[in-house]
A and B are shown apart, each in its own frame.
Chain A
Amino acid sequence: MSHKILLVDDSPTVLLMERMVLSKLACELITAADGQEAVEKAEAERPDLILMDVVMPRLNGYEACRQLRENEVTRDTPIILLTTRGEFTSAQSGYEAGCNDYLTKPINGVELLAKVKSILGI
């Protein structure tokens, strides 16, 4: 069965990069441009994994992560946060918000692919 991944970022450049890297997994890739849209799409589409930026308009990644964890439908969906902030406190905030893993930009395609494969078990 094909896995579904929700990519969330307000930058079309980042979304395109993620699409390029993940295209070799033969997963269904859907996108959202901010945290609010991510929360809505996650509930409607029920992805197997969410890959989400932190700094976004309307609703940032931490807050979106919290809302996804409070929602019964998306409570157990794995979330990887992706951000330019590499400090320990930023990663800690991500884990406190409920993310499963944390990656920093610039995106390392090999690392991203390995993490996604590991979480999806493929």
Chain B
Amino acid sequence: MTDQRENDLHNVHQGLKDLIDSLRQQRERWQVPRAGEPSTPQPPGERAPARSSPPARATPRTTELSTAEERLQEKVRGLELENQRLYDEAVALAEHTTHLANLYVALERLHGSLVHEEVLTALEEIITSMVGSEDFALLERQAAGPGLRVARAHGAAAQKLGTVTLGAGVVGGLAATGKPYLGGHGAGGAAAELVACIPLMVGGEVTGAIAIFELLAHKPQLTPADAELLRVLSTHAASALHLTSARTAPEPG
């Protein structure tokens, strides 16, 4: 449906462009000399002969044409503004469509496997290719106790991360809040080393965390779309990992 809306907007945008071009052409064809201007257009490079006589007085006809031209110019300005507004709307719609496509892809990948390692790999790919980071760690809650073990780590900072205790230290403290931390490096304080920390939550319980230490060099900061994606991961990555983890756990006894 958004595709259809986008196509409609493109068609309107193109139609307005054509209309503006056509109005411009008409204006050039009918260009009306103002009082005191030469009555015929001069070929390029030729100058109009100097006038020795005072400017001609405006006749009712020239006044009428001049008013018509001003109206036409006003209309062109209005159409140009409308054209720009529609163009901006089309771009925003295309970006929104891409964002929805990203969310769909993330969910499809996370819930598309019953193998725990494959879900972890999908989550790694989502962080790298959609959020844009190669310095992050995926942590999972250990079967017993408050420990979060590093399941996957990329980049120098993430690889330095040992086992994290929920509620202790920067990552453990942020994960224990149960709320996504999207402060970026500008936040200051102990969390300044982190771009984001997303607790993985199932049924109100923290089952793991995504700790992002750096974004790719050409990506200055997280966008609102990234924030929404990370919030989706907080619940969907958690449930996919929890489900596959339970499924692959050895039978008791």
Contact = CB atoms under 8 A, between A and B. Distances in A.
B217 A86 contact: yes
Given A17-B130, A86-B217, A109-B94, A11 B125 contact: yes
Given A13-B129, A13-B130, A106 B217 contact: no
Interface stretch (B96-104, B144-152, B185-193, B199-207): B96-104
Given A14-B125, A105-B216, 19 more contacts: A11-B125, A11-B128, A11-B129, A13-B109, A14-B129, A16-B109, A20-B104, A20-B105, A84-B129, A84-B134, A86-B217, A87-B217, A106-B132, A106-B219, A108-B98, A109-B94, A109-B98, A110-B94, A113-B94
Interface residues of B, number: 26
B233 interface: no
A12 interface: yes
Nearest to A13: B125
23 contacts: A11-B125, A13-B105, A13-B109, A13-B122, A13-B125, A13-B130, A17-B101, A20-B105, A84-B129, A84-B216, A86-B216, A86-B217, A86-B218, A87-B218, A104-B216, A106-B129, A106-B216, A107-B130, A108-B98, A109-B98, A109-B101, A110-B95, A113-B94
B126 interface: yes
Contacts of A109: 94-95, 97-98, 101-102
Interface of A is mostly: helix
A112 to B, nearest CB: 9
A29 interface: no
B105 A84 contact: no
Interface in A1-43: 11-14, 16-17, 20-21, 24
A3 B91 CA distance: 24
Nearest to A20: B101
Nearest to B223: A106
B108 interface: yes
A84 B128 CA distance: 8
Nearest to B106: A13
Interface of A: 11-14, 16-17, 20-21, 24, 84, 86-87, 104-110, 113
Given A20-B104, A86-B218, A106-B132, A12 B98 contact: no
A22 to B, nearest CB: 10
List of 4 A-B pairs having minimum Cβ-Cβ separation, nearest first: A86-B218, A109-B98, A13-B125, A20-B101
Contact of B98 (A13, A21, A104): A21
Contacts of A12: 109, 122, 125
